[in-house]
Amino acid sequence: MELDGRAQRARANGSLLYEPDEKLQVSANQFSLGPSLAYDLDPFGRLRRTIEAQAAQVSSVGNQALNLYVTLVDQVVVTAFRYAAAVEEIDVTRRLIADLQAQYDLTHLLENSGKIVRSETLQAQTQLQSTRATLPALEKQRDTYRNALFRLTGKAPQENTIPQITLRDFTLPAQIPVSIPSRLVRQRPDILEAEDLLHQASAAIGVAEAARLPSLNLSAQYAQQSIMTSDLFTKVAQIWSAGLNLSAPVFEGGTLRAREKEARERYLQAQAQYKSAVTDAFVEVADALQVLQHDADDYSAHTIALNAARENRDLARTQFERGRVNELVVLTAEQQYQNAALSQVMADAQRFSDTAELFRSLGGGWWDGADPRTLPVSQANISTQPYGQ
């Protein structure tokens, strides 16, 4: 329904009354005010399918935004893991350099006292400098991840608002899934977006089909019309009309048929894209689950190696205190422990990153019934196993 108002000045002649033009010549003002109503009966669903297509388009944009959000969160989390791992690798490397420096100083003293040959001192020096050469690259990597966090969080590096974090500041889920129901994969925003686009393409076929068929609409008007404003809102100024309008395409030169064919082809394209999105989603989830299982095995092996290196270091210290070995043995055992600790940091960081990838591949989490980013682990209702076993 619309409210129409109009004020105009016009000139009329006799032709308006089917008379010679010179018989009637008048110029006058004309005022009109009143509501009008038009309603499309939509017998073949053109408007309904148009609204359906527009709603699907709006939904697809929302899911596209959600997909960007999930991707952004994943990038922030993974970058934070990598930044924390780089910080910890630098700490471990510095401790290792300190041990290698002590070992080199000891070998230098032993060489001067004639207890070892020159080659052993050079070997210790080579190992020290090689390890020291890795430190600038790690520091560069740390700074790169730090600046990436600034960019991902929309801050300038000059703000210096990112706290110092380590891997110990993060906690992995107590349990991870060993299998994923297909309904959880369907919550991925990219799948929902592809589904919306398929829905939109389907509705577009209905719009194209209806465009080739007749359309019906009802129209009605009521107004006050007069040549003087003083006569408005009087009985004699009332006018009204009502009617049923029918229109149908007669000749369009094949345009409407071609548009319908185009809509059907676009539907097939959207259908193929939807199938591809679903297949890619299942492959990504399967890959993430398998990678996590391999990470668990890798982490377990590194843990065993770290524990063995720690026991060897403690044993060497005990034997040194009892005078059974020299200090070089202790330093070598300490170096082996630090190397094992460095490998453990890398394995731990990889496990964090791959867990975040599982979250992303499931559209934000593996819990159903609520926002997966806010539901606690205790409410998970899927097949799980303790992490790392």
Lowest mean pLDDT among 22-36, 245-259, 318-332, 364-378: 364-378
Helix, coil or strand: residue 363? coil
Residue 182: predicted pLDDT? 74
- What mean pLDDT comes out for the span 196-221? 92
Q: How many of the other CB atoms lie within 10 Å of CB of 217?
A: 14
Using the predicted structure, report yes or no on whether residue 305 has a pLDDT greater than 90.
yes
> Distance between CA atoms of 223 and 204, rounded to whole angstroms?
38
Give the position of tokens 């977006």: 193
Per-residue pLDDT tens over the stretch 266-302: 999 999 999 999 999 989 988 988 898 898 899 899 9
Q: With cut-offs at 50, 70 and 90, classify the pLDDT of residue 224.
A: confident
Q: pTM for the full model?
A: 0.72
Residue with tokens 């969080």: 153
- Segment 328-349, tens digit of pLDDT: 788 888 889 888 998 999 999 9
For residue 386, is pLDDT > 50? no
In sequence order, what DSSP letters do the residues of 131-194 get, joined into one string?
HHHHHHHHHHHHHHHHHHHHHHTT--GGG--PPP--GGG----SEEESS--HHHHTT-HHHHHH
Mean pLDDT computed over 312-337: 83
Set out the domains of the chain in order of their start, with CATH numbers. Answer: 1-40+214-247 (2.20.200.10), 44-213+254-386 (1.20.1600.10)
Q: Is it the case that residue 120 has pLDDT exceeding 60?
A: yes
Query: CA-CA distance, 180 to 282, in Å (whole number)?
Result: 9
pLDDT confidence tier of residue 90, bands split at 50, 70 and 90: very high
Neighbours of 2 (CB within 10 A): 9
Give the residue-averaged pLDDT of 143-169: 84
Instruction: Assess contact for 165 and 80: CB atoms under 8 A.
Output: yes
Confidence of residue 11 (pLDDT cuts 50, 70, 90): confident
pLDDT band, very low/low/confident/very high, at 380 (cuts 50, 70, 90): very low
Of 23-27, 85-89, 141-145, 176-180, give the lowest mean pLDDT range: 176-180
Q: Write down the pLDDT at residue 384.
A: 33
Residue 19 confidence (pLDDT): 66
Q: What is the pLDDT of residue 266?
A: 95
Q: What is the mean pLDDT of residues 148-167?
A: 83
